[in-house]
């Protein structure tokens, strides 16, 4: 049972994330709910609007803990400053970059913080979407593009959307976990959005090994 306190936390996270989307409809689509339900939640309705599974799904997407955990605060470490500066440059100038560095230096935390505070930027955990189909559908869903139709339509709609909005940025974390066909599809998507979209790939040992194998 999702308590009222947790629902209020989720609603606060929804409100905070709204500024990163051009419309309520796009934000609702990224959360996997209808615009009417989104409107009701936005207006403070919590009872019988969403099922517990829907609340859990939204909490997962927005990084809201269902337990009373202490909220992490960002520390302005050299790694945080460096990665944030690179992400800002990639987004503002529609550039692409790769960061392959040591594990546990704050790459993921910094990327998630960046997405929470920058419009049209999305974070993708590639370890959860290793295949081509899952990856492209996930990117589309994060931008609020319909990800449930035919794959060809999802891909084309995503390309059209990325070419039409201001300075989109896609952050690909744990990129070393992607299957080879997913890398090929990323190359196609990169070509289709050249000079229109920023891309930033991150990883540690897995990405390093994949790069070294490709060089060899």
Q: Do both 26 and 129 map to the same domain? A: no
pLDDT of 78 > 70? The answer is yes
Q: Do both 85 and 53 map to the same domain? A: no
pLDDT of 83 > 90? The answer is yes
Mean pLDDT of the chain: 91
Tokens of 37: 């339900």
Q: Do both 56 and 104 map to the same domain? A: no
Cα–Cα distance between 107 and 84 in angstroms, integer? Answer: 10
Q: Do both 144 and 174 map to the same domain? A: yes
Buried-exposed string 166-201: b where 16+ CB fall within 10 A, e elsewhere: ebbbbbbbbbbbbeeebbebbeebeebbeeebbbbb
pLDDT above 70: percentage of residues in the chain? 98
Q: Do both 12 and 97 map to the same domain? A: no
Q: Which domain holds residue 20?
A: 4-62
Q: Do both 20 and 93 map to the same domain? A: no
Q: Do both 199 and 96 map to the same domain? A: yes
Q: Do both 8 and 34 map to the same domain? A: yes
Whether residue 70 is contained in a domain is answered as: no
Whether residue 151 is contained in a domain is answered as: yes
State pTM to two decimals: 0.84
Name the domain boundary from 62, 91, 109.
62
Whether residue 82 is contained in a domain is answered as: yes
Q: Do both 185 and 115 map to the same domain? A: yes
Q: What is the pLDDT of residue 70?
A: 63
Q: What are the backbone dihedrals phi and psi of residue 194, each rounded to the nearest 5 degrees, phi first?
A: -60, 135
Q: Are 132 and 185 in contact (CB under 8 A)?
A: yes
Query: Which pLDDT band holds residue 67 (cuts at 50, 70, 90)?
Result: confident
Whether residue 168 is contained in a domain is answered as: yes
Name the domain boundary from 36, 62, 88.
62
Q: Do both 39 and 124 map to the same domain? A: no
Q: Residue range 184-189: average pLDDT?
A: 95
Whether residue 108 is contained in a domain is answered as: yes
Q: Residue range 72-79: average pLDDT?
A: 86
Tokens of 28: 């609702």
Q: What is the pLDDT of residue 68?
A: 62
Helix (H) or strand (E) holding 134: helix 132-142
Q: Do both 161 and 209 map to the same domain? A: yes
Q: Do both 31 and 100 map to the same domain? A: no
Coil, strand, or helix at residue 100? strand
Whether residue 72 is contained in a domain is answered as: no
Q: Give the domain CATH number at 111.
A: 3.40.50.300
Whether residue 180 is contained in a domain is answered as: yes
Instruction: Count how many domains the chain has.
Output: 2
Whether residue 118 is contained in a domain is answered as: yes
């Amino acid at each position: 049972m999702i308590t009222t306190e947790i629902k209020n936390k989720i609603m606060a996270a929804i409100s905070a994330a709204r500024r990163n989307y051009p419309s309520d409809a796009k934000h609702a689509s990224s959360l996997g709910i209808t615009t009417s339900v989104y409107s009701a939640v936005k207006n403070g309705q919590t009872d019988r609007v969403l099922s517990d599974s829907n609340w859990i799904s939204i909490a997962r997407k927005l990084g809201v803990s269902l337990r009373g955990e202490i909220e992490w605060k960002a520390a302005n470490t050299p790694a945080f400053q460096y990665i944030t500066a690179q992400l800002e440059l990639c987004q503002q100038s529609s550039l692409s970059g790769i960061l392959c560095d040591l594990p546990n230096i704050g790459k993921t935390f910094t990327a998630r913080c960046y997405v929470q505070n920058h419009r049209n930027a999305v974070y993708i955990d590639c370890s959860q979407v290793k295949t081509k189909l899952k990856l492209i559908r996930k990117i589309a869903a994060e931008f609020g593009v319909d990800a449930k139709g035919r794959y060809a339509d999802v891909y084309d709609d995503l390309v059209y959307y990325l070419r039409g909005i201001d300075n989109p940025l896609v952050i690909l974390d744990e990129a070393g976990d992607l299957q080879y066909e997913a890398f090929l599809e990323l190359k196609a998507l990169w070509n289709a959005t050249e000079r229109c979209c920023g891309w930033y790939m991150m990883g540690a040992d897995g990405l390093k090994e994949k790069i070294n194998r490709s060089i060899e």
